[in-house]
Amino acid sequence: MLITIENVLTAGELASIHEILARSAWVDGFLTSGPQAAKVQRNQELPEGTETISELRRQVMAALQRNALLFAAAFPARFYPPIFNRYGGTANFFGDHVDNAVRPLPDGSGYVRRDVSATLFLTEPSEYDGGELVIEDIYGIHAVKGQAGSMVVYPSSSIHRVEPVTRGFRTSCVVWLQSMVRDAGQRRLLFDIDMALVQLRQQVGDIESVVHLTGTYHNLLRRWAET
């Protein structure tokens, strides 16, 4: 299941992030990925250990943690610190790959199991050609080119790629998280129930049956969530 979340970043946050990105140095992205992904990865990333990446991560994490829709869709238990990448020039694509199941944290403090992946778009689609994020899941193949500040969320188990950028530069932030609900099918059920409950509450208010259904939703979540 793919979920697009609009306006994860405000215009002010986007401007601040671009100001920091403009004075950041980029390195080859394949230096940081596993051997299989490295063969098909031709993009650039911000290196670890700089003050600029710490500040960018702080701003993005604040936006992610206040986002109720991301919580409803992904149930984040642990985040991998967001990474920032750029596609354009000769480093302009990332071929088909899966995100490895487990990734060691950059500070060596442990591991994050990647259940959910997300791309937070930082460049407006009008500023570049190509660069679609193409995701294959059980429902088919989806090509996504989101507005700056929007985010697409999908299971880390999906094969995905970024098509070559043939004009301009595409910058984005990639987010991986370990979910309280490990199974993608269970997350989907919970999200669907939650969204239907939100609509019901708006249409008929908190009548007795809605309260009961809300209780059932939480009891399912209690059954499936590991924190």
Which of 93, 85, 94, 169 minimizes the C-alpha distance to 127? 169
Nearest residue (beta carbon) to Ni ion? 99
Nearer to Ni ion, 29 or 88 (CB): 29
- Give CA 58 to chain center in angstroms: 16
- Show the site string, 137-156: x = touches Ni ion by CB under 5 A, - = not: --------------------
CB atoms within 10 A of CB 140: 7
CA distance 226 to 220: 12
Nearer to Ni ion, 74 or 190 (CB): 74
Closest distance to Ni ion from the beta carbon of 68 (Å):
25
Candidates 27-35, 94-102, 129-137, 185-193 — which segment interacts with Ni ion by CB under 5 A? Answer: 94-102
Closest distance to Ni ion from the beta carbon of 145 (Å):
16
Nearer to Ni ion, 45 or 99 (CB): 99
Q: Does 99 bind Ni ion (CB under 5 A)?
A: yes
Closest distance to Ni ion from the beta carbon of 195 (Å):
26
Contacts of residue 174, Cβ cutoff 8 Å, sequence gap at least 6:
82, 83, 84, 85, 117, 118, 119, 120
Candidates 41-49, 73-81, 83-91, 99-107 — which segment interacts with Ni ion by CB under 5 A? Answer: 99-107
Q: Does 132 bind Ni ion (CB under 5 A)?
A: no
Nearer to Ni ion, 99 or 115 (CB): 99
Nearer to Ni ion, 36 or 216 (CB): 36
Q: Cite the DSSP H helix spans in the chain.
A: 11-22, 35-40, 51-65, 68-74, 184-204, 208-224
Can you say whether residue 84 is alpha, beta or left, with left for phi > 0 and alpha for psi between -120 and 50 degrees? Answer: beta
| Size, binding site for Ni ion by CB under 5 A | 1
- Show the site string, 47-86: x = touches Ni ion by CB under 5 A, - = not: ----------------------------------------
Per-residue tokens: 17: 């992030």
Nearer to Ni ion, 157 or 214 (CB): 157
Nearer to Ni ion, 99 or 163 (CB): 99
CA distance 119 to 158: 13
3-state secondary structure at position 77 = strand
What one-letter code names the amino acid at 183?
Answer: D
CA distance 195 to 184: 16
Closest distance to Ni ion from the beta carbon of 175 (Å):
11
Binding interface with Ni ion (CB under 5 A): 99
